Amino acid sequence: CMESMVSNGVYHEWFRREFPEVEFIPFRRYFYSEVDVPMHSDASYVTLDSNTIMMAPEQMPDPETIRKVQERYRILIPPRSDLPNPTSRRYHLNTLSLDEKRMLVNAQEKTMIKWLESYGYKP
């Protein structure tokens, strides 16, 4: 679980009590930031299935962290968004996995849909 600069502290306390086996990763410690302001971490990396994560190229962790992550997960770097978005270049990474293969994706993100399909997912 990633603890970002905008995460709710009470939520994290509850989550740690309920799921003590989950490792918390401080966002600022491991991830570079293109700007030094609070941001949501959900579009920095997204779990696609139990063995695969999608990482935003603009928010790649340091090389040591990449090696640690690759010991447990396959890392996929997604394509850029098809749509102009004034709020975030990573908005299209906000997907919702329904199971190991099926997920909800913005229907206008045609490149993202084809990319996910190329890895066997069913957007």
What average pLDDT score do residues 47-61 get?
A: 83
The answer, as to whether pTM is greater than 0.75, is no
- 37, part of any domain: yes
Domain membership of residue 123 (yes or no) is no
Residue 97's domain comprises: 2-118
How many domains is the chain built from? 1
Sign of the Cα torsion 64, 72, 100, 118 reads: positive
User: How many Cβ atoms from other residues are within 10 Å of residue 3's Cβ?
Assistant: 17
Measured CA to CA, the distance from residue 81 to residue 50 in angstroms comes to 24
The pLDDT value recorded for residue 103 is 93
pLDDT digits (tens, 9 = 90+) for 69-108: 888 889 999 998 888 876 677 778 888 888 899 999 999 9
Q: Note whether residue 61 is domain-resident.
A: yes
